[in-house]
Chains A and B, each alone.
Chain A
Amino acid sequence: MLDFFKGPILALQDFFFLTGRALRNIFRSPHYTDDILLQMDIIGVGSLPIVILTGGFSGAVMALQMSRALATYGATGQVGQIVAITLVRELGPVLSALLVAGRSGSGMASELGSMKVTEQIDAMRALGTDPIQKLVTPRLLATAIMLPLLTIISDLVGLAGGFLVSSITLNTTASQYWNTAYRALVWNDLAQGLLKPFVFGIVIALVGCFYGLRTSGGTQGVGLATTKAVVVASVWIFVFTFFITQIFVNQQ
């Protein structure tokens, strides 16, 4: 019975060690600025196309779904408001985070995993660099900075997608749509809409790197690490969005 829990608890302990060391390294030299910028480019700019596409379509779908429901009450004018609130509070952060988890979290796990199984991590340590400082901290910083920025873009494109649909199907005017959307949002929405991707970014990078660095068992292990990283990061995104929402709901 005890042995059953030993594995997961040891893994959790390792995860917190990694988290602690990765965070501490942010304030310690040497700083690998080149690696941070490179990761920001790969994670941020690289994810832009898919984040724009999914953001746009999720806004459009929201408008499409809501237009029918709102029409029953004759409140089709409120479509901008509903799209804005759902996108900024929930859909924008969560969808972008899931995409980045699938794209960059898996990338981190497979890259670090391959480095682990081909002894590149050992070589790095033998050559006098801390793999956490060189590999994990840049990825952590890059994801935590870029995911909120990606979410902002996703929200904006989503609102535009919603407008496109509502103007075609509901004949909503531009001023009506954007006015209701703008008025619907309060600081509380923006705060949780930006805090969420920041937290998700940290989760994605740490989980991806954690499973990557724990890889064992050759190329098969790399595949397993990648799968675990995406699944675990995705689950934690939903758990965290629940608790962050809980905090902000009580603030109102």
Chain B
Amino acid sequence: MPDSTPQSVLRFEHVSITFGDTVALNDVSFDLKAGGTRIIYGAAGSGKSVMLKIALGLLKPSSGRVFVFGQDTTDLKEKDLFPIRSKMGVLFQEGGLFDSMTIEDNVAYPLENAITAPDGKARIPADQISGRVREALRFVELEQTLVKFPSELSGGMRRRAGIARATVNEPPLMLYDSPTAGLDPITANMIMALIIKARDTKNTTSAIVTHRYQDGQLLANFRYNPESGRLERTEKNGDGVCARTTFMVFGEGRLVFEGTQDELDRSADPYVSKFKAVKQ
């Protein structure tokens, strides 16, 4: 961690959630600081997606407390959550795009429909929306799909459009739920490159849920170079991308591991080793 203590962006304190008899999250605590990148590994059903939904306030924890930007959101009412949610961008597993709307309308949705604009500012004027939407779609290289519907796009393109929608109002915190699940390796790397680009150009705090070990390696060791427009490997202990990236491993609702990349590499935990086994 850098010397100055950055502000806490997302903090869980002893959070547990149960559905009927199943415990989906069991006493999970962590703290994500501003500017940090958190990679959350876990097998299917390990509770990592549930964790993101609790962070967004879509699910209420059975016990424990959740703090977003320092504010306790655990017992907030839905309408009081809207201003906080507008500061969080989220990419759902399948993109979560609205089937009944074109890509343009989907990306414009946060700008047009949000009850509260980010930071309580006035809503974005209608004449600026189109420009912002195009800019967000240019960012994910999908400008040509403005009038298409989500069903006309491939899985990778839907996820790129989802990233555009999540980043259109430039939220300081980005959450990604399995951004590479079910994609071929080439498309998956492209999505990861976009996530790195979004993190480095917009300087966002990010939490990425994934089951692919190499996703975390990419995030920890590469950064986006705005001059060349490409990803480049960072020097170890260099500009701090690696130091700002921390890892968590979930197993059956429990936080099995938390630490830096070096600690992850050294960890002898049998569950953590399973994830490292797929390392190239």
- A residues neighboring B (CB under 8 Å): 30, 114-115, 118-120, 122-130, 134
- B residues neighboring A (CB under 8 Å): 53, 56, 58, 78-79, 82, 85-86, 88, 90, 92-94, 96-99, 109-110, 113-116, 165
Residues of B within 8 A of A130 (CB): 78-79, 115
Closest to A132 in B: B78
Closest to A127 in B: B110
Q: Which of A122, A123, A128 contacts B114 (CB 8 A)?
A: A128
Q: Are A128 and B85 in contact (CB under 8 A)?
A: yes
Provide a sorted-by-A list of 21 A–B residue pairs whose CB atoms are within 8 angstroms.
Answer: A30-B115, A114-B99, A115-B98, A118-B99, A119-B92, A119-B93, A120-B97, A120-B98, A122-B53, A122-B56, A122-B96, A123-B98, A125-B58, A126-B56, A126-B92, A127-B110, A127-B165, A128-B113, A128-B115, A129-B109, A134-B113
CB distance from A216 to the nearest CB of B (A): 10
Closest to B96 in A: A123
CB distance from A7 to the nearest CB of B (A): 11
Q: Which of A114, A119, A128, A129 contacts B96 (CB 8 A)?
A: A119
Residues of B within 8 A of A119 (CB): 92-94, 96
In the A-B complex, list the 7 residue pairs whose CB atoms are closest, starting with the nearest. A123-B96, A128-B114, A119-B92, A119-B96, A128-B82, A129-B113, A127-B110
Main secondary structure of the interface of B (DSSP, over half): mixed
Q: Are B114 and A129 in contact (CB under 8 A)?
A: yes
Q: Which of A30, A122, A134 contacts B92 (CB 8 A)?
A: A122
With contact pairs A125-B58, A129-B115 given, residues A120 and B96 touching in the complex (Cβ less than 8 Å): yes
Q: Are A118 and B113 in contact (CB under 8 A)?
A: no
- A126 CA / B91 CA spacing, docked (Å): 10
- A30 CA / B115 CA spacing, docked (Å): 8
Q: Are A123 and B86 in contact (CB under 8 A)?
A: no
Residues of A within 8 A of B98 (CB): 115, 120, 123-124
Q: Are A126 and B115 in contact (CB under 8 A)?
A: no
Residues of B within 8 A of A120 (CB): 96-99
CB distance from A70 to the nearest CB of B (A): 51
Residues of B within 8 A of A125 (CB): 56, 58, 78, 85
Residues of A within 8 A of B113 (CB): 30, 127-129, 134
- A170 CA / B217 CA spacing, docked (Å): 87
Beyond A126-B96, A127-B165, 5 additional pairs, beta carbon < 8 A: A30-B115, A123-B92, A125-B58, A125-B85, A129-B114
Residues of B within 8 A of A129 (CB): 109, 113-115
Q: Are A122 and B78 in contact (CB under 8 A)?
A: no
- A119 CA / B166 CA spacing, docked (Å): 14
- A122 CA / B93 CA spacing, docked (Å): 11
Q: Are B58 and A126 in contact (CB under 8 A)?
A: yes
